[in-house]
Amino acid sequence: MIQTPYLLFLGDAPDPLAAKVAQGIKDWRPDNAVGQFRMDGCKADLGLADMTLQEAKAAGAKTLVIGVANRGGVISQAWKKVLVMALEEGFDLASGLHNLLRDEPDLVAVAEATGRNLFDVRVPAVEYPIANGKKRTGKRVLAVGTDCSVGKMYTGLCIDREMRERGMKSTFRATGQTGILITGDGVPLDAVIADFMAGSIEYLTPDNDPDHWDIIEGQGSLFHVSYSGVTMALIHGGQPDALILSHEPTRAHMRGLPEYQLPSLQQVADMALPLAQVANPDCKVVGISVNTQNMSEAEARDYLAKVEAEMGLPATDPFRFGAGKLVDALEAI
């Protein structure tokens, strides 16, 4: 588990989008974000206090999180200088970069010499078990999508925030690199060995209080032929009590698969629910999350009303209009 709070490293980000991981941490776990560290030429700004390593250390930061994409897949010497100094100052380092911290001999050597940790959240740090399918206590909800990248992580984070605001017991369970850096923990499911996928999700969502909700971050889609096996492992390893259907209505085809059309929400429900009921016979589809970022507010509200009427389920864009309807439905279980 990555030690919080963080100093967010924005490096020499060429634009704000390059720092979207740092932005996610600041948006979703502001208490984890003590400050930002920007190098000369950085074009991103989270609106946090700019801090030196020493200032951040004094403010309590434990880990320097690389919250920015690097250029050209190389950790530059300019970055290295900051990262090495951070280790020397007593920070751990955490990264979701494709090129791993552990593959950089200088960082490894300094981390060993200083007794600090390097967290590469792209690769599993745990030997996960084979799933055993045993019924666990506590409640779990999983978003299943018509496609990849339709807003399943944001849906989960919105539900988690709403539950916390209501005083409910809730934990967002990250299954992707961005989610892991936001929360400090999770399973990088796309990098897990096939036989251990479902077991990794059981490990991530253990027995809990009967009134506690695990909000499991969804991945892929049963209808996305590249990644459907990952989705399947979430459905069976997660043993969800509730499914939320996730959709982005303006997409022309499945992400990365120009020959494939998106399924309807009904098709996703008809496929996912019987599969989920193998692991949890009481599982229900309780609501719909629509990513309306490419629609005007009027279009979005019309679309949501139409979906609610067609599906007979509460539908919202939880990021735009709040997750209240979805949490109402979950609370009713």
Contact footprint for a copy of itself (CB under 8 A): 130-135, 189-195, 197-199, 222-223, 225-233, 235-237, 239, 256-257, 259-260, 263, 270-271, 274-275, 278-279
CB 192 within 8 A of CB 123: no
- Measured from the CB of residue 78, what is the shortest distance to a copy of itself in angstroms? 31
β-strands 92-95, 63-66 pairing: parallel
Report how far apart, in Å, the C-alpha atoms of 196 and of each of 77, 91, 115, 171, 187 are: 37, 32, 31, 22, 11
- Measured from the CB of residue 162, what is the shortest distance to a copy of itself in angstroms? 29
- Measured from the CB of residue 195, what is the shortest distance to a copy of itself in angstroms? 4
CA gyration radius, the chain = 20
Closer CB to a copy of itself, 91 or 223, in the complex: 223
Closer CB to a copy of itself, 268 or 326, in the complex: 268
Query: Which string of DSSP letters, residue by residue, matches 89-125?
Result: HT-EEEE--SS-GGG-HHHHHHHHHHT--EEETTS--
- Measured from the CB of residue 112, what is the shortest distance to a copy of itself in angstroms? 24
- Measured from the CB of residue 65, what is the shortest distance to a copy of itself in angstroms? 23
Closer CB to a copy of itself, 26 or 224, in the complex: 224
- Residue 98: half-sphere exposure toward Cβ, Cα within 13 Å: 6
- Measured from the CB of residue 8, what is the shortest distance to a copy of itself in angstroms? 27
- Measured in Å, how far apart are the chain's first and last C-alpha atoms? 31
Closer CB to a copy of itself, 213 or 227, in the complex: 227
Q: How far apart are CA 63 and CA 5, in angstroms?
A: 7
Report how far apart, in Å, the C-alpha atoms of 53 and of each of 9, 137, 169, 263 are: 10, 43, 35, 49
* In the block, residue with structure tokens 């950790």: 75
Closer CB to a copy of itself, 220 or 287, in the complex: 220
Closer CB to a copy of itself, 195 or 302, in the complex: 195
